[in-house]
Structure 1
Amino acid sequence: MADEGDVLTDLNTPSSGNGADNRPTAGFITQYIKDLSVENPNSPASFQWQDAPQIDLQFNIGANPVNDEISEVELKINATANCENGQLYVIELVYAGLVGVRNMPEDQMHMFLFAEAPRILFPFARRVVADATRDLGFQPLMVDPIDFSGLYLQRLQEKQAEDAAAGGAAPGGNA
């Protein structure tokens, strides 16, 4: 846990006059459940079903600017469990954090918001999902760790390939 006045958590640290206030700074201000929906649509009958559930797990990451130095990063997790007899449960979670970023180049800030911040939020969101499935009366759903940096780099390469393909298809287009 960061100490009070830590540069990672206190973006209002006064300038010390030694030029240190120009260094890149990023950190979490707070984190929270923004939205949580938990459904157990076929209870109590679903507790008698014996076949193994098929779990569908979807992730999405979003970042929305709050002001020039603060963004809200959202880690969205949708988990659905189905078996032959029907749906066992549906969990939709938006776990968010306010992230402060100062004096950081745009490309590094983008990577922090879409790779590092979700990595930091993930264990807390994972716990919410596990607790929700347990509270529904099922075994806790323990979501495996995710390589957010690897996914970020993969998506960046896909976007660059899409942009290159679109640039080559349109005459006079900007790449």
Structure 2
Amino acid sequence: MAETGNGAAAQAAPQIKLNVLTQFVRDMSFENILARKAGSGQVQPDVKVQVALDAKKRDTANQYEVMMKLTVKSVAQGTDDALFLLELEYAGVFNIEGVPDDQMHPFLLIECPRMLFPFVRRIVSDVTRDGGFPPLNLDNIDFVNLYRSELQRRAAEQTAQA
């Protein structure tokens, strides 16, 4: 029986290895603005979440640091009265092997944040609860869409400068 090309192609494809070496809160700030103002009565919160991602190569071979920066601002619905402000920088150090160089950038800014997000969600929930508000459970973030949007924004910015 002759061997088909599929077995050879499967062996030639690089095996991707992804390990989370560590993850940590780099910086965090929570301001309960409502408590400082001695707010009264029930308010309906309007929550806005901004996400920024950054990645960089570390000195050690195959290691990368990925940073997720979240800004969560809550205001009273119908007004601009701030209720709270949460700023969180959460990072992970990853060992990544087998990803082609031309695919490393999207891999770092899509796959790595997907692995960090459940921990970020938990921190946001705990901090808002401990800060005197109902726990805020963040919706899932579409990191593919976020990545594409950032590429489009950069392309439009370069076009405007040209």
User: Percent sequence identity over matched residues?
Assistant: 40
Q: What letter is aligned with 1:69?
A: N
In structure 2, stretches of 5+ residues that fail to align are 1-10
Tell me, what secondary structure is at the counterpart of 2:140? Answer: coil
Q: Is the 8 Å Cα contact of residues 101 and 109 (structure 1) preserved in structure 2? A: no
Report matched runs for 1:96-175 at 5 Å: 96-157=91-152, 159=154, 165=159
How many residues were matched structurally? 147
Task: From the superposition, tell whether residues 42 and 162 of structure 1 become closer, same or farther in structure 2 (CA, over 3 Å).
Answer: closer
**What is the alpha-carbon root mean square deviation over aligned residues?**
2.6
Report matched runs for 1:1-175 at 5 Å: 23-43=15-35, 45-46=38-39, 48-67=40-59, 68-83=61-76, 84=79, 86-157=81-152, 159=154, 165=159
Superposed displacement of residue 121, structure 1: 0.5
Tell me, what secondary structure is at the counterpart of 2:141? Answer: coil
In structure 1, stretches of 5+ residues that fail to align are 1-18, 170-175
TM-score (norm 1): 0.72
TM-score (norm 2): 0.77
| Aligned equivalents of 2:151, 2:83: Cα separation in 1 | 36
User: Of the two structures, which has the highest relative contact order with CA contacts closer than 8 Å and spacing of 6 or more?
Assistant: 2
| Aligned equivalents of 2:53, 2:157: Cα separation in 1 | 20
